[in-house]
Structure 1
Amino acid sequence: MTIHPTAVIDSQAELDSSVIVEPYAVIEGPVKIGANSRIGAHAVVSGNTTMGANNTIGSFATIGAPPQDIHYKGEPTELIIGDGNQIREYVSIHRATVKADGKTVLGNNNMIMAYCHIAHDCILADHVIMANVATLAGHVEIGSHANLGGLVAVHQFCRIGDYAYIGGMSGIGLDVPPFVIMEGTRNQMRISSINKIGLRRAGISRETIKKLEESFRLLFRSPEILLKDALAQLEDEMKDCAEVQKMVQFFHSSKRGVVKRTLDD
């Protein structure tokens, strides 16, 4: 274990012998940090925070602080971080409230760029990218391989589906389905297309991408059919495509509501 002499480590903390802690970092409370992780200079890791292996915490990051919730009364909630995450400078990630299951969760191999904020009770899956100053309010769920551009702000309780791409400076107030690109226009945010580039990079087959494009046209570019009928048609006609069915079920499971259909190009 390599700990700079100016770092402050709580006696309750449990650090793997391979962890590196840089100058003036503070590790406070019953923190657990896995193998080959690095805590940057002046970073603060606190509370009931558990990190897996191979994580990098940037300088001045604040990890595991109490939630910014006026109803929080110091309950022993958690922050759980998986393996291989890059959490860059000045990022803040807060542990949960007791309003859900008491856990803020980050999966594996996520890239959280400088100045991002992940609020209490959020759940991030794997391979998520959040560009600089992207911000999640409480109880947000982000699917695997989702990509949020710089300065994106996501309202509390919203969901972002797998492989969704959110253009920079976007304000998200409703659920965004998986596999789509959402970007801003002069007057509104809109879903513009299937995220073909992201899907190709992930090794998704051309046949599957083609089926997702057909589904997109039916869901978002067909004014002659009601949304509920479009979803029923996809459930019936594309039973063999797991990705299309995931999109359909995303609509059905939405509590906050999915972003509106935009019928103009």
Structure 2
Amino acid sequence: MTRETAIHPSSVIEPGAQLGAGVRIGPFCHVGADAVLGDGVELISHVAVRGATTIGAGTQVYPMATLGAPPQNTRHKGGRTTLTIGANCMIREGVTMHVGTDTSRGATEVGDNGNFLAYAHIAHDCVVGKNATFANGATLGGHCEVGDNVNIGGLTAVHQFVRVGDNAFLAGCSAIVGDVIPFAVASGNRAKLRGLNIIGLKRSGLPRAEIYLLRRAYRTIFDRSRTVAENVELARVEFSGSAAAMKIIDFISSRGKRQYTVPPLKGGAVDDGDDED
């Protein structure tokens, strides 16, 4: 049975806001006229939903979160831009997510099943995939692209325009100033790669043989005797049969001329991952 919509009398729901079935809005919330709340969305209390913000079904939002505020970008001229949040997300205390910029892509998008812990921030024009986990204080600058199943540790900051590939793990208290390839672990102030996210790969159900191929591809791509560009072309031929390896290869190949791919830590092993059961 679907619960009835319930709105605390202290909350303000502006005319024009669209509320799905079973929405629950606790005390002292403010929902703007251009907002859309899907079925079963819950705003626990003291939540502000501003601008053209759509929140997917089943998402729960904790106190002091602000969703859909204008972008922190001086190029924004005040035009209508959007924030779209997927279904079944958990948005904890003080999280901020901004709409896009009208001089850029104009939209910020967050996928389903995200878990955004206290004070995490998603800036204007970012795209975040499914099943993301942002620990406390994790921050994205504007225009970032984050893949599926990405984990970002507490107090880690990702520079604007950076891409993070699927299944990557960004360790806590890190500064991410370049693209992080899929399946990798990155950490440090001006982060470097610390190998592959072997634990995450195992949890995802990737077969051991595929993980072995992926590690070989990683070593080939970052072989220091050649340039990365040369290594990528060699790996493209050698590992064409591995979908996971090709995801890394295509990710690097698709970077823009001004984009920088985070390399492995100098002086350390090219792959520090642990492939033991």
Given the two structures, how large is their TM-score scaled by the length of structure 2? 0.92
2:40 and 2:118 mapped to 1: Cα distance?
21
1:198 aligns with 2:177: no
State the Cα deviation string for residues 56-111 of structure 1 (Å, max 9, x = none): 11111000011111121210000011111111110000000023321100010011
2:216 and 2:119 mapped to 1: Cα distance?
38
1:32 is matched by which residue type in structure 2? V
> Could you say what secondary structure the match of 2:186 adopts?
strand
CA RMSD of aligned residues (A): 1.2
Partner of 2:85: 81
| Contact preservation (8 Å) 1:219, 1:261 | no
> Could you say what secondary structure the match of 2:230 adopts?
helix
> Could you say what secondary structure the match of 1:105 adopts?
strand
Deviation at 1:263, TM superposition (A): 4.4
1:156 aligns with 2:160: yes
| Contact preservation (8 Å) 2:176, 2:190 | no
The structure-2 alpha-carbon separation of the partners of 1:188 and 1:35, relative to structure 1 and needing over 3 Å to count, comes to: closer
Q: Percent identity among equivalent residues?
A: 37
Partner of 1:236: 237
Partner of 2:44: 40
State the Cα deviation string for residues 91-137 of structure 1 (Å, max 9, x = none): 00000002332110001001111001110000001001110001111
Q: Give the alignment partner of residue 207 of structure 1, picking from 195, 206, 209.
A: 209
| Contact preservation (8 Å) 1:40, 1:56 | yes
Counterpart mapping for 1:76-225 below 5 A: 76-184=80-188, 189-220=191-222, 222-225=223-226
2:131 is matched by which residue type in structure 1? H
The structure-2 alpha-carbon separation of the partners of 1:108 and 1:227, relative to structure 1 and needing over 3 Å to count, comes to: same
Deviation at 1:205, TM superposition (A): 1.2
| Contact preservation (8 Å) 2:78, 2:102 | no
Q: Give the alignment partner of residue 57 of structure 2, picking from 53, 58, 64.
A: 53
Partner of 1:258: 261
| Contact preservation (8 Å) 1:96, 1:103 | yes
Ranges in structure 2 where 5+ consecutive residues have no aligned partner:
269-277
Deviation at 1:229, TM superposition (A): 1.9
Ranges in structure 1 where 5+ consecutive residues have no aligned partner:
none
Deviation at 1:40, TM superposition (A): 2.0
Deviation at 1:226, TM superposition (A): 2.3
2:229 is matched by which residue type in structure 1? K
1:38 and 1:56 mapped to 2: Cα distance?
5
Total equivalences in the alignment:
262
Q: Give the alignment partner of residue 20 of structure 1, picking from 15, 24, 27.
A: 24
1:200 and 1:131 mapped to 2: Cα distance?
21
| Contact preservation (8 Å) 1:24, 1:43 | yes
1:226 is matched by which residue type in structure 2? T
State the Cα deviation string for residues 147-205 of structure 1 (Å, max 9, x = none): 10000001110001100101100001111100000122xx7522111101011111111
1:2 and 1:211 mapped to 2: Cα distance?
53
1:86 and 1:130 mapped to 2: Cα distance?
10
| Contact preservation (8 Å) 2:125, 2:142 | yes
State the Cα deviation string for residues 192-237 of structure 1 (Å, max 9, x = none): 11101011111111111111111111223x2223212211111101
| Contact preservation (8 Å) 2:164, 2:180 | yes
> Could you say what secondary structure the match of 2:49 adopts?
strand
